[in-house]
Amino acid sequence: RIKRQAISAEPSGLDPAKLTDVTLTSYLKTKESGELIQKALMNNDFMKHLEHGQILTIMDCMYPTTLSKGCCVIQEGDDGSTVYVLEEGMVEVTKQGKTLCTIGPGKVFGELAILYNCTRTASVTALTDIKLWAIDRQNFQTIMMRSGVIKHSQYMDFLRSIPSFQSLPEDGLSKLADVLEETHYGDSDYIIRQGATGDTFFIISEGQVKVSQQNSPSDEQVTVTTLSKGDWFGEQALKGEDVRTASYTAVGDVTCLVIDRESFKQLIGGLDEVKKKQCENNEVKEKLQAEADFFSSVS
Ligand code: CMP
């Protein structure tokens, strides 16, 4: 269960680590223009799954431009550098000289070459004088990737700060950060119920969690301890005993990072194998070196 961004385009030439450094410029627009852009983005098949924050940021960064009737906005086969939203006028979309459709106000176009790193799939020509909102490729792709990149780096920082995870290599932590799911609980919510089956592992990233146990159904629940940020629980389920041995309830608002058994086993198993392989490789290297040393000493 690897989490992915809604849009699967892999922007070429962009280093995800540097995306947080890109400065985005916002352009003033009227309320009506802002709403038109937002609606256009939300109605576009390729963009409607974006997070609301991403839609707002794209809208914010779009700059105005105008073109006269008859101008070519996009030439089929070119490299794409801009995504547009049409605010006023009409454009015609053609492919190899044949008309595909005409587009009116409130529609996105020019998104395909940017989202899928392909050349322009069609030509777009202004049928009237037109008013457009535009966003450049780099800004667009930065916004597309940014929320995921920021979340990932926050998870990495957090996982690195947990003593139990400090021995994991960076790529292992990074994979954990990819698969974990953030879940939220309100005061007194059960995160785990004693006796229930379960196959998830929890790391507390915010708030406190009360651990309680009941020795028999007729006994009172006894509070065993209270866990806080950076503590983890539910590990028995990952070892194969999937009946929960205690109850875990939220004390106030709680956020947990949840890892399912398969992901956890896979990642840790994988990491162990890497370690084992490294060990074996080192052993082989040492053996070869010892042989070389021996032969050089007798020759
Ligand atoms: P892009 O390929 O970047 O540049 C040309 C644009 O024309 C394309 O993105 C779409 O926005 C648009 N387009 C291509 N094919 C069609 C189609 N069949 N119907 C509507 N719009 C299209």
Atom of ligand 1 nearest to the CA of 115: 3
Q: What is the pLDDT of residues 19-28, one digit of tens each?
A: 556 788 999 9
Q: Is residue 109 in contact with ligand 1, taking CB distance under 6 Å?
A: yes
- The neighbour count for residue 33, using CB atoms within 10 Å, is 18
Contacts of 141 (CB under 8 A, 6+ apart): 9, 11, 14, 114
What pLDDT was estimated at residue 293? 64
Q: What is the pLDDT of residues 220-258, one digit of tens each?
A: 889 999 999 998 888 766 666 678 889 999 999 999 999
Residue 255 half-sphere exposure, CB side, CA atoms within 13 Å?
A: 7
Lowest mean pLDDT among 44-53, 91-100, 267-276: 267-276
Give the H/E segment covering residue 53: helix 52-61
Q: Which of 83, 101, 109 to mutate to test the pocket of ligand 1 (most atoms within 8 A of CB)?
A: 109
Alpha carbon of 155 to ligand 1 centroid (Å): 37
> In a 3-state reduction of DSSP, which class is residue 82?
strand
Q: What is the pLDDT of residues 178-226, one digit of tens each?
A: 889 889 999 999 999 998 988 888 999 999 999 999 888 888 889 999 9
Atom of ligand 1 nearest to the CA of 122: 5
Token duo for residue 51: 């997070």
Contacts of 196 (CB under 8 A, 6+ apart): 243, 244
> Rounded to two decimals, what is the model's pTM?
0.58
End-to-end Cα separation, the chain, in angstroms: 58
Q: Is the pLDDT of residue 9 over 90?
A: no
Question: What beta strand segments (E) does the chain contain?
Answer: 63-67, 72-74, 82-88, 91-95, 98-103, 107-109, 123-126, 130-136, 181-185, 190-192, 200-213, 222-227, 232-233, 247-260
Q: Which of 100, 119, 137 to mutate to test the pocket of ligand 1 (most atoms within 8 A of CB)?
A: 100
Token duo for residue 290: 């010892």
Q: Is residue 121 in contact with ligand 1, taking CB distance under 6 Å?
A: yes
Mean pLDDT (the chain, rounded)? 83
**86 and 132 in contact (C-beta within 8 Å)?**
yes
